[in-house]
Structure 1
Amino acid sequence: METSRPIELPLDIETIKGFLDPQEGEALYRLAAEASDLGPVLEVGSYCGKSTVYLGSACRLMDNSLFAIDHHRGSEEHQPGEEYHDSDLFDDRSQLMDSFHNFRSNMRRAGLEQNVIPVVAPSAVAARHWNTPLGLVFIDGGHSLEAAVTDYRAWSRHIVPGGYLAIHDIFPDPKDGGQAPYEIYKLALASGQFELVEMVKTLGILRRIQ
């Protein structure tokens, strides 16, 4: 991947809630810029938009679009009583977690509303009638095995040959973190359709070869 071009972000990325390491975010930015010649970009799991700003900023630079798929009700670990619950994102009226207002505000602050297309729906529902070929798919949704496998099976088939699949939170050693992203990473390699390009911390970047 091209690494010489400095990245251009429209705001201080640390003002956005999220769990993406800056090195991983910069890798996503460069990957989205490179993949823009192949088709639109799609991410599964936007949360409050940290990864969306990296990806969307590259799409704006390249006059491309980013589809941001998230039901905005939070993953398992974001629910009340769980490790990553954030009370600021809990809607007292509905008694549900809701990150969409925060996400939308961040897209407006970043000036990305012309390039980022939010799709507020579960991943499988959004994919049900999807037909648009994609240059890059970034998977960072629910980390249960069922959710991760659903995301992989729903979206990887839409990546064009030469396009990219990026998977976040890959931990080969169970002591370091959950195994669901690592399992779909192994599924992708075992399929014979993807090859590893590089690992950036916990971000696995694969290319579709057929």
Structure 2
Amino acid sequence: MSKHIELILPIDIDSVKGFLSHAEGEALFRCASTLAQGAVAVEIGSYCGKSSVYLGLGCKATGSTLFAVDHHRGSEEHQPGEMFHDPQLVDDTGAFSTLASFRKTIRAADLDDSVIPVLSSSAQFARAWQGELGLVFIDGGHSLDAALLDYRSWAGSIAQKGLLAIHDVYPGSEAGGQAPITVYRLAMASGLFKEIMSVDSLRVLERL
């Protein structure tokens, strides 16, 4: 990662709901800021846009594009009665929805030209996608089935020297769910990736 582009946050990132540490966000920014002009990144799981800002700023600096993929109805853990449910993110129909918050975040960060929201499930968009990707960030559903589907849907589209970033990789269940680390181990065991960065719970792999 030879390029050095300064991260300047245009918004108060701490005001954006999300589960990404600033150090992890800076790492995502550095990853996106190495993309070639015209390259494409895909983010699986945007929530209210915190990670999208870091990735989007990196893409904006390099003339690349981020597709932010999320159905915005929340993962299993965001539903009523679950550990990470936020009653402030319930829309006027009574359903959990992060879409309005996401759009507000992207607009406030002046990223409408660099971040393209995709209102879809990861697997649906993957079926329609054609072409290679410079970066894939997986932070969608954390059930084992959802995480494996995200990996299997997108890993094959990552170009040589492209990056696969996985969030919430915890070595033990006492720290967090084990689906992301299962995906991480699967990627490493495939022989197609090598780890190049570890920041908090974020792991970044490079396609060989």
Specify if TM > 0.5. Answer: yes
Equivalents in 2 of 1:29, 1:130: separation in Å?
A: 24
8 Å contact kept, 2:3–2:34: no
Q: Partner residue of 1:190?
A: 189
Q: Partner residue of 2:62?
A: 62
Equivalents in 1 of 2:37, 2:186: separation in Å?
A: 26
131 and 3 in structure 1: CA distance in 2 versus 1, 3 angstrom threshold: closer
8 Å contact kept, 2:140–2:146: yes
Q: Partner residue of 2:131?
A: 132
The alignment status of 1:119 with 2:149, answered yes or no, reads no
8 Å contact kept, 1:68–1:116: yes
Cα deviation 1:156-204 (Å, max 9, x = unaligned): 1110000000000000112111000000000001111001112111000
Read off the aligned partner of 1:73 and give its amino acid letter: R
Cα deviation 1:132-171 (Å, max 9, x = unaligned): 2110000000000000000000011110000000000000
Q: Could you say what the CA RMSD is over the residues aligned between the two structures, in angstroms?
A: 1.3
Structure 2, unmatched stretches of 5+, are none
Equivalents in 2 of 1:68, 1:38: separation in Å?
A: 16
Percent identity between matched residues is: 51
Read off the aligned partner of 2:53 and give its amino acid letter: V
The 4+ residue runs of structure 1 with deviation greater than 2 A are: 1-6, 35-39
Structure 1, unmatched stretches of 5+, are none
User: Normalising by structure 1, what TM-score?
Assistant: 0.95
Q: Partner residue of 1:167?
A: 166
8 Å contact kept, 1:38–1:135: no
**May I ask how many residue pairs the two structures share in their alignment?**
208
**Secondary structure of residue in 2 paired with 1:35:** coil
128 and 151 in structure 1: CA distance in 2 versus 1, 3 angstrom threshold: same
Q: Partner residue of 1:29?
A: 29
Q: Partner residue of 2:74?
A: 74
Deviates further, 34-43 or 6-15 = 34-43
Q: Partner residue of 2:20?
A: 20
Cα deviation 1:107-155 (Å, max 9, x = unaligned): 1111100110000011111111211211000000000000000000001
The Cα of 1:208 is off from its aligned counterpart by 0.2
Q: Partner residue of 2:141?
A: 142
Read off the aligned partner of 2:44 and give its amino acid letter: V
**Secondary structure of residue in 2 paired with 1:97:** coil
The alignment status of 1:101 with 2:95, answered yes or no, reads no
Read off the aligned partner of 2:193 and give its amino acid letter: F
Equivalents in 2 of 1:36, 1:161: separation in Å?
A: 13
User: Normalising by structure 2, what TM-score?
Assistant: 0.96
Read off the aligned partner of 1:70 and give its amino acid letter: D
8 Å contact kept, 2:37–2:63: no
Equivalents in 1 of 2:193, 2:184: separation in Å?
A: 10
The alignment status of 1:46 with 2:53, answered yes or no, reads no
8 Å contact kept, 2:16–2:105: yes
Read off the aligned partner of 1:69 and give its amino acid letter: V
The Cα of 1:4 is off from its aligned counterpart by 5.2
8 Å contact kept, 1:38–1:163: no
Cα deviation 1:45-81 (Å, max 9, x = unaligned): 0000000000001111111110000000001111011
Deviates further, 82-91 or 182-191 = 82-91
